[in-house]
Amino acid sequence: MRRLCGILLISSTLCIGMPAAMAGMPSSGHEQLLQRAEQLLNNYKDIEALVLYEEVLAESPDNYEALCKASFLHSRIGDRYQDETRKIEHFSKARQYAVQAYELSPHDAESNYVMALAMASEAMVSGPRQRLVDINEVKRFADAALACNSEHAGAWHILGRWYFKMANLNFAEKAASKLLFGGVNKATNQEAADAIEKAIAYNPNNIRYYYDLACIYEEMKEKEACISTLQKALTVNLETKDELELSRRCNIMLQEQQKL
């Protein structure tokens, strides 16, 4: 069953890892707003948190922390909409803020992470050519994030999804990739699984990571690994509707695998 081929790379930002706290950044005079926004983000109140981060940016457009967090939130919120127009609005803002953060600090893990996430999100609503261009760029930023912070769970997750997408391109995508880039990036499902295993190692409480990993093992026909991953997923504490939905999917897949 190829349930992941259409969703694993260019979707599923709903439960992706939050940006890490950014230490050592210069004081901006907006500490209280940033602290309130961080509390809201940690309590999964994404829209309220985004309002505060953008309030900071209205006064201080170069606030690095607010840029990274606002980009992350636009990617995550945009993914929830069914309406493509709303998706595009959020994903465009995600990329805008990510580019600004990257220009301020191109060698930091968070700016590279939100760039990778924003490009993966925009690929969802792009035409075939631009989708391949965006996907091709995702790995560069994910690799850069991991070069800065090898324990960045979100970056490992994005990298794993990139490996999976590249390992499962359809004929038309392979042909277009050869035309645009002179070839197809080599990637395997095992590399995808290994990367998401690392994401889980650094953040074992994110059910999205388990679900995506189980889907990769399902694609690889690794039944025991798939079942083990799903069983672990069902032990994760759930906080949001998104996580409850993922838990439901994990339970259904587990029942399917146990019948095989």
The tokens for 230 are 């799903």
- pLDDT of 144 reads 98
In this predicted model, what pLDDT tens digit does every residue of 153-179 receive, in sequence order?
999 999 999 999 999 988 888 888 888
Sorting pLDDT into bands at 50, 70 and 90, what band is 124? Answer: confident
pLDDT at 54 over 60: yes
Q: Does 206 fall in a domain? A: yes
b/e for 29-48, b at 16 or more Cβ within 10 A?
ebeebbeebbebbeebebee
Sorting pLDDT into bands at 50, 70 and 90, what band is 202? Answer: very high
28 by DSSP, 3-state: which?
Answer: coil
Percent of the chain exceeding pLDDT 90 equals 75
- pLDDT of 2 reads 47
Q: Does 25 fall in a domain? A: no
Is residue 36 within 8 Å of residue 69, measured between CB atoms? no
pLDDT at 19 over 70: no
**Cα-based angle 198, 199, 204 (whole degrees, multiple of 5):** 105
**Overall domain count for the chain:** 1
pLDDT at 230 over 60: yes
Tokens 């995702």 label which residue? 138
Element (H, E) at 210: helix 207-220
- Its pTM stands at 0.89
Percent of the chain exceeding pLDDT 70 equals 89
- pLDDT of 11 reads 52
Q: Indicate the average pLDDT of the chain.
A: 90
Q: Does 24 fall in a domain? A: no
- pLDDT of 23 reads 43
pLDDT at 219 over 50: yes
Q: Does 69 fall in a domain? A: yes
Q: Does 240 fall in a domain? A: yes
- Return the CATH number at 151: 1.25.40.10
- pLDDT of 24 reads 41
- pLDDT of 158 reads 97
Element (H, E) at 243: helix 241-259
Instruction: Look up the domain containing 149 and give its range.
Output: 31-259
- pLDDT of 26 reads 44
CA–CA separation, 108 and 148 (whole Å): 6
pLDDT at 60 over 70: yes
Q: Does 110 fall in a domain? A: yes
pLDDT at 228 over 80: yes
Sorting pLDDT into bands at 50, 70 and 90, what band is 45? Answer: very high
Is residue 118 within 8 Å of residue 71, measured between CB atoms? yes
Question: Residue 156, Cα to own-chain centre: how many angstroms?
Answer: 9
Question: Residue 82, Cα to own-chain centre: how many angstroms?
Answer: 18
Q: Does 4 fall in a domain? A: no
Q: Does 26 fall in a domain? A: no
